Every structure is written in C-alpha cells, then in structure tokens.
C-alpha cells in the first residue's frame, strides 16, 4: 500500500503555476480559467490548447509507471468492493433483500460512484497484458 504519496501541487502552485526546468531553462507552467496550458519563459508565454481527448491521453501518459499513479490492481480492488454491493442491490430489486429501500437506494448510489471511479481509473491504464503495464 502506498501511504507516502504527497500532494502534487501546493495551493499556491494550483493558483499561480509550477516552476519547471527544461534543459536548463526555467519555465512557469499554469492552467488559467481558459483551460489551456500556459508555459512562460523569460521572454514569451506559449499557449497550448488540447482537446479533452488529448488531455485524457496526456494524463494517462503522465501517470504511467509512477508511484502516485494507478494500476490494474487498484481497479481489481475497487471491483472486489463493488461486487458485494452489486449483489445486495440485485437482491433488493428481486424482492429478496434484507435491507430497507432507503438503505438500498444509498447502497445503489455508492455502487454507481464506485463503479464510475473504477472505470475512470481503468481508462487511464494501458490495456491489460500490455507489456507497458
């Protein structure tokens, strides 16, 4: 279990940008309200606009093989938590559940959230069995 993961950015960096050094050139990188990536050196500001699909792909590449990234083991753990909840909801819907309807609705909402989380993480991973995973 990875307990040593620290926040990637401070509040100040989220608000004002991240200092980056590329090939001995100091840059500042930030994401203003326009959703584009802004990169500034001493002279100019460059604006890079990515589509949502491109940003998704870049996120997957940035997280790949990083200790703070995700793995198929994470997805499998989330599924192992979701499976009994799914059974519980199914039993209630079939009229054989042992929990009341209010609790069943809450469990169904938690299950939907958990499955969404599982699917969003899986979407950032290389295909299972890929030699890059």
Residues 59-89: tens digit of each pLDDT: 898 888 888 889 999 999 999 999 999 998 8
Average pLDDT, the chain: 86
* Residue 132 confidence class, pLDDT cut points 50, 70, 90: low
**What is the reported pLDDT for 77?**
96
Q: Are residues 68 and 43 in the same domain?
A: no
- 129/133 Cα distance (integer angstroms): 7
**In sequence order, what are the residues at sequence separation of 6 or more whose Cβ sits closer than 8 angstroms to the Cβ of residue 59?**
124
Residues 9 and 60 in one domain: no
Overall domain count for the chain: 2
Quote the domain boundaries for residue 121: 51-126
- Percentage of the chain modeled with pLDDT above 90: 29
pLDDT for residue 2: 55
Domain identity same for 38 and 81: no
């Amino acid at each position: 279990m990875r307990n040593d993961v620290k926040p990637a950015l401070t509040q100040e960096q989220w608000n004002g940008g991240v200092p980056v050094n590329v090939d001995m050139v100091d840059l500042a990188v930030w994401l203003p309200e326009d959703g584009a990536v802004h990169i500034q050196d001493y002279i100019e500001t460059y604006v890079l606009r990515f589509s949502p699909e491109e940003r998704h792909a870049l996120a997957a590449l940035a997280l790949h093989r990083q200790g703070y990234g995700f793995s198929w083991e994470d997805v499998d753990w989330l599924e192992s938590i979701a499976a009994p909840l799914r059974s519980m909801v199914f039993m209630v819907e079939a009229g054989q559940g042992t929990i009341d309807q209010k609790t069943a609705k809450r469990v169904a909402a938690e299950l939907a959230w958990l499955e969404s989380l599982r699917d969003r993480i899986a979407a950032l991973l290389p295909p299972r069995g890929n030699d890059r995973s």
